[in-house]
């Protein structure tokens, strides 16, 4: 059985099963709490780094690290100055969307679609993502 309608995070409990199909189960384990602290980052050269809004709980300067892949499969890292903005959002304002995210949980905040970057993993039969009280860098989905 597939989840078909969005569901408020505040109503999800400890585990949200998005797809219960045998061999393709996808679920989200949810840390308890009334709020979600969401971090949204930007490199210092972007306009987003200078974002100001009363709903920003904290802004912190930081170094962002990026992993890059070469055509031959090897990888290398680079670092750039950046800024992280932190928002504290009530779970009553976050809708969980009925889609599989595989470490990028799809959600909606105030009508804007985002994906939460989380840890997850599976055993070939069940994939579980872990949504903690503090989650990293939502991507805005266009």
Taking the CA of residue 41 as centre, how many other CA atoms within 13 Å lie in the half-sphere pointing to its CB? 18
Give CA torsion, residues 87, 38, 105, 12, to 10 deg: -80
d(C-alpha 133, C-alpha 142), whole Å: 25
**pLDDT confidence of residue 124:** 85
pTM of the model: 0.85
Asked if 132 contacts 31 with a C-beta cutoff of 8 angstroms, the reply is yes
Indicate the DSSP class of residue 97. P
- How would residue 136 be classed by pLDDT, with cut points 50, 70 and 90? confident
CA distance 57 to 45: 22
Q: What confidence category does residue 139 fall into, taking pLDDT thresholds of 50, 70 and 90?
A: low
């Amino acid at each position: 059985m597939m989840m078909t309608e969005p569901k408020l995070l505040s109503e999800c409990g400890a585990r949200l099963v998005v797809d219960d199909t045998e061999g393709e189960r996808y679920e989200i384990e949810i840390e308890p709490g009334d709020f979600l602290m969401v971090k949204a980052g930007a490199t210092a050269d972007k306009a987003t780094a200078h974002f100001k809004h009363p709903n920003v709980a904290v802004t912190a300067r930081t170094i962002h690290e990026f992993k890059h892949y070469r055509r031959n499969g090897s990888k290398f890292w680079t670092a750039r100055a950046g800024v992280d903005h932190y928002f504290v959002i009530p779970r009553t304002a976050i809708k969980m969307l009925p889609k599989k995210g595989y470490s990028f949980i799809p959600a909606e905040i105030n009508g804007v679609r985002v994906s939460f970057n989380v840890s997850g993993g599976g055993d070939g039969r069940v994939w579980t993502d872990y949504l903690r009280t503090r989650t990293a860098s939502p991507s805005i989905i266009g």
